[in-house]
Amino acid sequence: MSPEVPIIILILAIPVYFLTKWIFKRLKLGNEKNRKYLAIIPTIILSMLLYVGIIFAFVFSISYYPKTDFNKQEWNKNKEERYKMSNDIIKSEILIGKTKDEVIELLGDDFYSYDENHIVYDLGFVPELLNIDPDVLDIYFEYGKVVKVRQHGT
């Protein structure tokens, strides 16, 4: 545990302690003297839960991105945010059964070719915690037709 964690929990604990003490007073739990001590245990537990909740909220907020339907103009215009449309391309299977020329007509000619049966389109950087590599859309062909489309980080 880094040295900052106890300090952050302590900072969270101060208002939680006074809030807990106020709630106990409103509920008429204990008397004025022992209410101070009764509030300590819930303060410790609630402060740690609040700290964990803040961390989860932070992780969720930086890893969320909207998924949108495929749009050819948007795909060609904004190459760094293609990842938003990749889920729709994969789930709707709009490329399955298409020839390489049909795929190029739809997605453009800015792809990488690993071999004649495998091409890749850059999708940009998907918002994720500690993501330092861009994602790509892999398109696999068999007998000249698309058979599989998947996304992965490089």
Report the C-alpha dihedral over residues 83, 93, 72, 128, rounded to 10 degrees. -10
- Give, in order, the Cα–Cα distances in Å from 3 to each of 6, 7, 17, 47, 50: 6, 7, 22, 16, 18
Q: pLDDT tens-digit profile of 28-54?
A: 888 888 888 888 889 999 999 999 998
pLDDT in tens, 81-140: 999 999 999 999 999 999 999 999 999 999 999 899 999 999 998 887 777 889 999 999
Helix (H, G, I), strand (E, B) or coil at 29: coil
H/E stretch holding 87? helix 83-92
Q: How confident is the model at residue 67 (pLDDT cuts 50, 70, 90)?
A: confident
The reported pLDDT for the residue numbered 1 is: 59
The two structure tokens encoding residue 105: 């007509």
Domain ranges of the chain: 4-63, 72-153
The fold adopted by the segment(s) 72-153 is Beta-lactamase Inhibitory Protein; Chain:B, domain 1 (3.30.1450)
* Distance between first and last Cα of the chain: 31
pTM of the model: 0.65
Confidence of residue 2 (pLDDT cuts 50, 70, 90): low
